Amino acid sequence: MAKARPIKGLSPDMRFGDAAARTVRVRAQELIDHSEGVLDTSSIQRVHAMRVASRRLRAVLEIHRACFPPELFKPVLREVKDLADALGARRDPDVQLASIEEFAAALGAGEQAGIALFADRLRAEQEEGNRVLADALARMRHSDLPARLQELADSATTPEPAVEDVSAEAPESPAAESVDVSAEVPGVPVAGPADASAEVPDVPAAEPADASAEVPDVPAAEPTDVSAEVPDAPATGPWEGRPALWDLPAQPAAGPAATPLGERPPRPPRPPRPAPARPDADPATGTDLAPAPTRTGLLRVLRRSR
């Protein structure tokens, strides 16, 4: 089996799309190179090498499916699968023929006739597989599969944006001349510093006022006797002559007697249960209305109980 060609420039730091483009280009070129002389039935290793290359290319396309546009990816993948199937139809009888020839070399002359008959059937299958492979190769050349694989690889890469030269597009503007402001604005005499002492006269400081002379002393007011103004009023109304609430004697608490701590209160007595009503009793008096058992009835009961 032919070894896979190394992919130069592939590194883990590059973009996934760039890695897909590099890998597809190398695997597609392998497939095209192994197609030379693949229809020659005398050399079965060429078919094997091209079939392995087609399987590698198919695996690479399916792994990097997300990097390609669907309208370009799906037709290319379908054609690569058809080519791999055609190579398999040719490869199977090649392997069987090689095994039969090796087996026939170890047999005697008596068994060669049967082996030759079986080998002729395998050669017919080989010719049919070779015809199927020739049709697949013709379709590959007609659809220009190598160019489409190259276009698919280019679609996975992202071109770098071009850097525009701003200095070449923008013309240089002449520098503006400096304007002499002193020539346009007439000179204004600069005022000197103002003499604050000449404009603001000295103001004599005011003497402090004597507060004791203006505010006379106010004598303190004597406390008022409230008890003299408000006499005691006698109690009047419907409660006159009755003792106050706090003068009443303590009343015993109503309800059941208190139970000492840790003891359960006694249960109240249960009411007597009424006697169940008998179905053969008089509802008014409660007497038995059933007739007294006879001797014949007792004998029947005894017989049934045996």
Q: Give residue-wise pLDDT tens across range 258-281.
A: 566 667 777 888 888 776 655 555
Name, in order, each residue with C-beta under 8 angstroms of 55's C-beta and a sequence gap of 6 or more: 84
Q: Which two tokens stand for residue 162?
A: 């071009």
End-to-end C-alpha distance for the chain, whole angstroms: 104
Summarised one tens digit per residue, pLDDT across range 134-171 is 999 999 999 999 999 999 999 988 665 555 555 555 55
State the pLDDT at residue 201.
Answer: 52
Tell me if 126 sits within 8 A of 40, measured CB to CB. no
Q: What distance in Å separates the CA atoms of residue 85 and residue 55, rounded to the nearest whole number?
A: 10
Residue that wins the pLDDT comparison between 42 and 230? 42
Domains in the chain: boundaries: 16-156
Q: Which two tokens stand for residue 41?
A: 């039935």
291 burial type by CB count under 10 A (0-12 exposed, 13-18 middle, 19+ buried):
exposed
pLDDT band at 86 (very low <50, low <70, confident <90, very high): very high
CATH class of the domain defined by 16-156: mainly alpha
* Helix/strand/coil for 300: helix
Give the largest Cα separation in the chain, rounded. Answer: 163
DSSP element (H, E) containing 86? helix 70-104
Tell me if 34 sits within 8 A of 46, measured CB to CB. yes
Instruction: Answer yes or no: pTM beyond 0.75.
Output: no
Q: What distance in Å separates the CA atoms of residue 130 and residue 43, rounded to the nearest whole number?
A: 12
